[in-house]
């Protein structure tokens, strides 16, 4: 991604599959280093990792799919699979893994052989995990390129053991690269006009494909915005040159969503956070709140202590956060 500016990258992702019909070059299963991420993005692959925001057109070599659970059915890597396991406390089922040197080929996890810690580039974690569909090739690759030969369970266990430590480093990297943008004193919430930077545990944000970031003071304002973004976003303030084809998404359609985990104070994906709604003991910057947590266990514990219900992202709506919610007639619209 270093060779493309962020807005150019997001613009590329919005192209139709036929407009980027670039075939993957042939690679040998013994090649230690192959193009990863895929550049330009290969749009015959579709999907986005809800844990970190990575997209399959770039990270198809390490893609993982499984039976939908809590609204999630795919991730970009062993790291994000382990992270999702920590968040839910449940092992995904019917897992399919991409073969690293043939990213269009998905195989059952039980049939996979994984080389962990080779010189080949991985995704998210500094310790790559390269998937093969047969033991002989995997063993030869490990001998040639380094690393340990593991089965799927061993590779996932290794990812689990390091995921929390790696997450801290990843968040620093995401901020540095602009995937997460810390709000400043000049940023205003487009829903209430408050200053999100003054609410370290309430602040949240979305980034849209046009490259613009919207900051919010609270999840109440975040979900109000997402429930009717056109009320708050003036389309004339969205540069159409950054979206091709034009109007492919509504003006406020989120590409990345970030919220702050109430326990750790760390940024976490809004799509894989768990929320407590309906608490009558604890309130946020705007009153009623959907309090975000990194895991279902933490959310459930908070709900027991403070009232409310622990739910996943797909079950949150502004009408569930604020009883009797009605959108105001007069709207403050964001301006560049």
Residues 22 and 167 in one domain: yes
In a domain, 190, yes or no: no
Structure confidence at residue 209 (pLDDT)? 84
In a domain, 154, yes or no: yes
221 vs 204: CA distance, rounded Å: 9
| Confidence category of residue 334, pLDDT binned at 50, 70, 90 | low
DSSP 8-class letter at 227: H
Residues 23 and 165 in one domain: yes
Q: Where are the alpha helices (DSSP H) in 38-109?
A: 56-59, 78-88
What's the total number of domains in the chain? 2
Q: Provide mean pLDDT across the span 1-17.
A: 44
Residues 166 and 217 in one domain: no
In a domain, 138, yes or no: yes
Question: Dihedral of CA 247/334/50/6: which sign?
Answer: positive
Domain boundary among 176, 208, 223: 176
35 vs 28: CA distance, rounded Å: 12
Closest CA to 58 of 73, 69, 44: 44
Residues 280 and 312 in one domain: yes
- Is it the case that residue 131 has pLDDT exceeding 90? yes
Q: Is the separation of the CB atoms in 310 and 276 below 8 Å?
A: yes
In a domain, 170, yes or no: yes
**Residue 284: count of CB within 10 angstroms of its CB:** 20
What SS3 state is found at 148?
A: strand
Structure confidence at residue 20 (pLDDT)? 36
Q: Count Cα neighbours of 23 within 13 Å in the Cβ-side half-sphere.
A: 3
Token pair 């490259």 is found at 211
In the chain, the percentage of residues whose pLDDT exceeds 70 is 85
DSSP 8-class letter at 286: T
Q: Provide mean pLDDT across the span 28-39.
A: 89
In the chain, the percentage of residues whose pLDDT exceeds 90 is 79
Q: Count Cα neighbours of 115 within 13 Å in the Cβ-side half-sphere.
A: 28
Residues 201 and 151 in one domain: no
| Confidence category of residue 112, pLDDT binned at 50, 70, 90 | very high
In a domain, 106, yes or no: yes
Q: Is the separation of the CB atoms in 36 and 63 below 8 Å?
A: no
| Confidence category of residue 234, pLDDT binned at 50, 70, 90 | confident
What SS3 state is found at 216?
A: strand
Domain boundary among 145, 176, 207: 176
Rounded to the nearest integer, the mean pLDDT of the chain is 88
Domain boundary among 142, 176, 210: 176
- Condensed to tens digits (0 to 9), the pLDDT of residues 141-191 reads 999 999 999 999 999 999 999 999 999 999 999 999 999 999 999 999 999
In a domain, 332, yes or no: no
DSSP 8-class letter at 24: P
Structure confidence at residue 26 (pLDDT)? 65
Residues 60 and 154 in one domain: yes
Residues 164 and 224 in one domain: no
- Is it the case that residue 250 has pLDDT exceeding 60? no
Q: Is the separation of the CB atoms in 127 and 147 below 8 Å?
A: no
Domain that holds residue 314: 196-321
In a domain, 189, yes or no: no
Structure confidence at residue 18 (pLDDT)? 36
Residues 122 and 204 in one domain: no
- Is it the case that residue 223 has pLDDT exceeding 70? yes
Q: Provide mean pLDDT across the span 126-142.
A: 97
Q: Provide mean pLDDT across the span 104-113.
A: 98
Structure confidence at residue 210 (pLDDT)? 81
- Is it the case that residue 23 has pLDDT exceeding 70? no
In a domain, 131, yes or no: yes
- Condensed to tens digits (0 to 9), the pLDDT of residues 286-301 reads 999 999 999 999 999 9
Residues 124 and 220 in one domain: no
Sheet containing 102-108: give its strands across.
72-75, 64-69, 96-99, 102-108
- Is it the case that residue 242 has pLDDT exceeding 90? no
Residues 203 and 270 in one domain: yes
Residues 111 and 259 in one domain: no
Residues 28 and 90 in one domain: yes
Structure tokens at 333: 């619209």
> What is the greatest pairwise CA distance in the chain?
67
Residue 191's contacts (CB-CB under 8 Å, 6 or more residues apart) are 216, 221, 224, 225, 232, 332
């Amino acid at each position: 991604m270093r060779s493309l500016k962020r807005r150019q990258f997001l613009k590329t992702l919005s192209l139709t599959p036929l407009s980027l019909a670039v075939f993957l070059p042939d690679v040998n299963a013994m090649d230690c280093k192959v193009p990863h991420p895929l550049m330009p993005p290969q749009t015959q692959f579709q999907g986005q990792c809800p844990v970190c925001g990575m997209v399959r057109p770039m990270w198809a070599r390490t893609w993982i799919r499984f039976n939908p659970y809590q609204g999630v059915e795919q991730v970009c890597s062993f790291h994000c699979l382990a992270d999702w396991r920590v968040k839910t406390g449940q092992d995904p089922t019917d897992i399919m893994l991409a073969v690293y040197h043939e990213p269009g080929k998905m195989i059952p996890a039980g049939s996979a052989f994984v080389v962990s810690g080779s010189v080949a580039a991985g995704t998210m974690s500094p310790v790559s995990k390269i998937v093969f569909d047969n033991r002989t090739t995997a063993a030869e690759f490990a001998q040639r390129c380094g690393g340990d030969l593991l089965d799927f369970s061993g590779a996932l266990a290794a990812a689990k053991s390091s995921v929390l430590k790696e997450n801290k480093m990843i968040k620093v990297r995401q901020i540095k690269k602009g995937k997460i943008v810390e709000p400043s004193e000049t940023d205003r919430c487009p829903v209430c006009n408050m200053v999100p930077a003054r609410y370290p545990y309430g602040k949240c944000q979305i980034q849209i494909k046009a490259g613009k970031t919207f900051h919010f003071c609270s999840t109440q304002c975040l979900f109000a915005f997402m429930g009717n973004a056109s009320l708050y976003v003036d389309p004339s303030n969205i540069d159409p040159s950054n979206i091709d084809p034009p109007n492919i998404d509504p003006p406020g359609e989120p590409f990345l969503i970030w919220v702050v985990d109430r326990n750790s104070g760390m940024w976490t994906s809004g799509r894989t956070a768990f929320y407590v709604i309906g608490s009558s003991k604890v309130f946020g910057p705007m009153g009623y709140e959907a309090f975000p947590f990194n895991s279902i266990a933490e959310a459930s514990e908070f709900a027991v202590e403070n009232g409310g219900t622990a739910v996943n992202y797909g079950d949150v709506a502004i009408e569930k956060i604020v009883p009797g919610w009605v959108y105001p007639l007069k709207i403050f619209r964001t301006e560049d």
